[in-house]
Structure 1
Amino acid sequence: MDPNKVYDLVQSHYSELASRSSTQEHTTVAENVVKAFGYRASELRSIPQNANLGLSCGNPVAVANLRAGEVVIDLGSGGGMDVLLAAQKVGPTGRAFGVDMTRSMIDVARENAKKANADNVIFIESAITSIPLPDATANCVISNCVVNLVPTAEKPLAFKEMFRLLKPGGSSGHDGYPRSEAARGGHGQGSILEYLQNAGFGQVMIVDCQKDLNIYKEIFLDLNEKNCGCCQSGAGGSLEPGQPMTERAEVDLNEWAGSFEIYALKP
């Protein structure tokens, strides 16, 4: 598919989610999802309620080992949940950047940062393949099931951008990645390793967290059969845009995606 079409579908879908972020129904579903991927109730209580959009495939802040005074960049920051949690870790002498290409998500995130009185947080409207920040800005780059939304042809750019933004010795960590990039052939993890190594990273470690992604069926139902353009596929047992919700309910999402902890260091 044309990369611009992919970006249009993703932005449309996430704009819809941003508009629903303040509803109580969606908040309840979103909390169920993120708790299934390792977020603690105390973490969720420490940030504005609608910062959690239920879009996680893991908890990158929990494994990032952030320290006071560090700079962290979250790629695909959504409503700001991981950025706000990271900001707590790096403290007032540190800085947490959130990058998202969807304007409505940036608006939601900035409002949440204001509610949280998070003065060490900055949100940037940008694609994660070309971010307007200087080289060697960050000690750590995190992403929560977002790099998978970048079109395959442009994924190398996203990993090179991570490498550019990191200081020497800095770490990159990503929770959640699709098996569906080469799902049926089983080469998804190999592709991630290749992207990281080609970008210049070393000491790469990929851990399959064995989480049950079928929790996301709650989100599908909550969307009231809205099309999910980011989940399309041409294979059998698919998640096609416009597919009836009853058919989607029969799909085992674990065949298509997995929750991975992916660690890499910039030499």
Structure 2
Amino acid sequence: MDAANLYRHVQEHYGKIANHTALTNLSDKYQEKVATAFGYTLQDIQSIPGNANLGVSCGNPLATANIRTGETVIDLGCGGGIDVLLSAAKVGPDGKAVGIDMTKDMLDLARRNATKAGVSNASFIEASITSIPLDSSVADCIISNCVINLVPKVDKPIVFKEMFRVLKSGGRLAISDILAKKDLPIEVREDLSLYVGCIAGASQVHDYERFLKDAGFEGKLTMPADCNLQGVAILNTNSDLNLYKELWQAEKNDSEVSSASCCGSHPGQLQGRAKSMFDFNEWAGSFQVYAIKPELGV
């Protein structure tokens, strides 16, 4: 499928999640279970409006972002606003948290959540993360949570170049994303429900290393990363991706979602029992990616 159609399917799927017309068969505690499994604390979740956490995270980028007061933080693919709102609290009234998302319904939800939370230093922009409508060198930190895997393969290098452009000299990048551990089977790569579910479009670690290097990030760090060093670090958190099977089971049981997320017949898709038995931890993992834009003259 071409990139334009992939973007359209992603927008439709996440628009329905934002409007709570998707995943209606999930248990009430599913979103909280996902967030805590992937690194958020109950205190984090309870400090923001409930529907800012939609249960679509694959990590907690704030865990390695080292956000400081007064900074400007940009969240690529902000969804309902969970990481923007948590970042806004960390940067304080003298800082800014900016969320970017291509799905209007998600942005509407994020803005409502910011208003409900009484957050005045957060803003939201409707745009693709392949063309960020901000000046160069404006961000101290860029974060993203389980979004870049949704970008079609042909466009992924552009995202990293945009992040490098928007970061200040010495600025840092903290990403949580799903990466493939090895080549995915064709029946997974061609399953559109697994594409919008963040598995089928996953790159491998060596792909991310190339994207980062080609964009201008260089060298390697060990985790946790020292902000005074230059380079990149990519770490498998070993979180359990099979947790998402509750979501896929809900999609199977919810005819509306099945239509929206392309779970119908498609050549090469995993079907029924095969999908439920597939061990996603064998093929993919939740990774933390940290990088620092080199200082000018260094």
Written as runs of structure 1 = structure 2, the 5 A alignment for 1:1-267 is 1-20=1-20, 27-179=28-180, 182-183=183-184, 188-202=204-218, 203-223=231-251, 224-225=253-254, 226-227=257-258, 228-229=261-262, 239=270, 243-244=271-272, 246-267=273-294
Residue pair 1:27, 1:49 contacting (<8 A) in 2 also: no
**Do the aligned partners of 1:142 and 1:172 also contact (CA within 8 Å) in 2?**
yes
> TM-score normalized by structure 1?
0.90
Tell me if structure 1 keeps the 8 A contact 2:25–2:250. no
Residues 46/24 of structure 1: CA separation in 2 closer, same or farther (3 Å cut): farther
- Does the C-alpha gap of structure 1 residues 5 and 187 become closer, same or farther in structure 2, counting only changes over 3 Å? closer
C-alpha deviations, 1:213-232, integer Å up to 9, x for none? 011112222333434459x9
CA drift at 1:38: 1.1
TM-score (norm 2): 0.81
Identify unmatched segments of 5+ residues in structure 2: 186-201, 219-230
Tell me how far apart the structure 1 counterparts of residues 83 and 144 of structure 2 sit (CA, whole Å).
9
Identity %: 49
Task: Name the SS of the counterpart of 1:128 in structure 2.
Answer: coil
- Point out where structure 1 has 5 or more consecutive residues left out of the alignment: none
SS in 2 for 1:249: helix
- What's the secondary structure of 1:77's corresponding residue? coil
Over 3 Å counting, the alpha-carbon distance change for 1:56 and 1:187 in structure 2 is closer
**Distance apart, 1:255 and its partner CA:** 3.1
- Maintained 8 Å contact 1:14/1:102: yes
Once residues 210 and 229 of structure 1 are traced to their aligned partners in structure 2, the CA distance between those partners, rounded to angstroms, is 28
Deviations 1:195-237 (A, max 9, x none): 000000121111111111011112222333434459x9976xx
CA RMSD of aligned residues (A): 2.5
Preserved CA contact (<8 Å) 2:62 2:174: no
Could you give the per-residue CA deviations for residues 87-124 of structure 1, whole angstroms, max 9, x where no partner exists? 11111100001111011101110000000111010111
> Aligned partners of 1:247, 1:142: CA distance in 2, in Å?
34
**CA, structure 1 residues 229+171, in 2 after alignment: closer, same or farther (shift >3 Å)?**
farther
Say which one has the larger Rg: 2
For residues 72 and 176 of structure 1, the distance between their equivalents in structure 2, rounded to whole angstroms, comes to 18
